[in-house]
Amino acid sequence: MDEDAMLDAAGKTGKLLGVGESVGRIWGFMLLKARPVTQTEIEAATGYSRGMISQCLQGMEQRTVINVARVGREKHYSINQKLATSYGAVIGQQYEARMKQVIEFLSACAESIEDARIRDSLLAIRDEYKKVSIALILTPRIIALINERDIARMEDDVKNMAKRISITIAEGEKKEERNK
């Protein structure tokens, strides 16, 4: 596959993932280069304006898809090789940024409602948000455990790996309980 075809495929992938064709093409260019690149290099390869590139890179940086390093007066952008780790961090931040606020809001609303049926409904919804929050809080820990394993040499299927990680988490919880 030549470079243009690769960029087109990456653009279509970005569009399918809902991040946009321009983000996909920029990501594809960075993959092809396999080294840190500047905004000027991205501009030359994609034909996008500096403003569009800057906006795309900012979003990619916020999602931790890329790493950014300042070299002299220029920023250099590269693909984040530890995407699973950064994904876990982003998920953990979602709890702090959004879920915790929703839980607090629903709790406060429930306290101020006199109608027991409505209050119970709000509390039930709040409890569902708490369940999702537990998953968000656990995600970075689970990803850390996944990263400790050599996935490339893994002979187990994904379900067996998940089972072993679940056992590791359970053993860790038992150890914490004993230490209390």
Q: At which of 79, 107, 136 does a domain end? A: 79
Q: According to the model, what pLDDT value does residue 87 have?
A: 65
Give me 168's structure tokens: 């590791």
Q: According to the model, what pLDDT value does residue 85 have?
A: 65
Region class of 69: left (phi > 0), else alpha (psi between -120 and 50), else beta = beta
Q: How far apart, in whole angstroms, are the C-alpha atoms of residue 139 and residue 153?
A: 23
Residues 6+ apart with CB under 8 A from 13: 24, 28
Q: At which of 79, 101, 118 does a domain end? A: 79
Q: How far apart, in whole angstroms, are the C-alpha atoms of residue 161 and residue 149?
A: 9
pTM: 0.56
User: Could you tell me the CATH number of the domain that includes residue 67?
Assistant: 1.10.10.10
Q: 30-68: buried (b, 16+ CB within 10 Å) or exposed (e) per residue?
A: beebeebbebebbbebbebeeebbeebbebbeeebbbbe
Most confident of 39-43, 61-65, 94-98: 39-43
Tell me: pLDDT of 89 over 70: no
Our CA angle for 160, 165, 171, nearest 5°, is 130
- Which residue from 147, 175, 172 is spatially nearest to 161, judged by alpha carbons? 147
Tell me: pLDDT of 64 over 90: no
Judge if 22 and 70 occupy the same domain.
Answer: yes
In this predicted model, what pLDDT tens digit does every residue of 132-178 receive, in sequence order? 888 877 877 787 788 777 777 766 677 888 888 888 888 888 888 88
- Which residue from 32, 54, 31 is spatially nearest to 43, judged by alpha carbons? 54
Q: According to the model, what pLDDT value does residue 38 have?
A: 96
Count CB neighbours of 103 within 10 A. 19
Tell me: pLDDT of 1 over 90: no
Judge if 102 and 156 occupy the same domain.
Answer: yes
Q: At which of 52, 79, 106 does a domain end? A: 79
Tell me: pLDDT of 94 over 90: no
Domain containing 168 equals 83-178
Judge if 17 and 66 occupy the same domain.
Answer: yes
Our CA angle for 26, 27, 31, nearest 5°, is 115
Tell me: pLDDT of 90 over 70: no
Judge if 89 and 35 occupy the same domain.
Answer: no
In this predicted model, what pLDDT tens digit does every residue of 102-131 receive, in sequence order? 889 999 989 988 999 998 999 999 999 999
Judge if 72 and 110 occupy the same domain.
Answer: no
At residue 1, what is the residue type? M
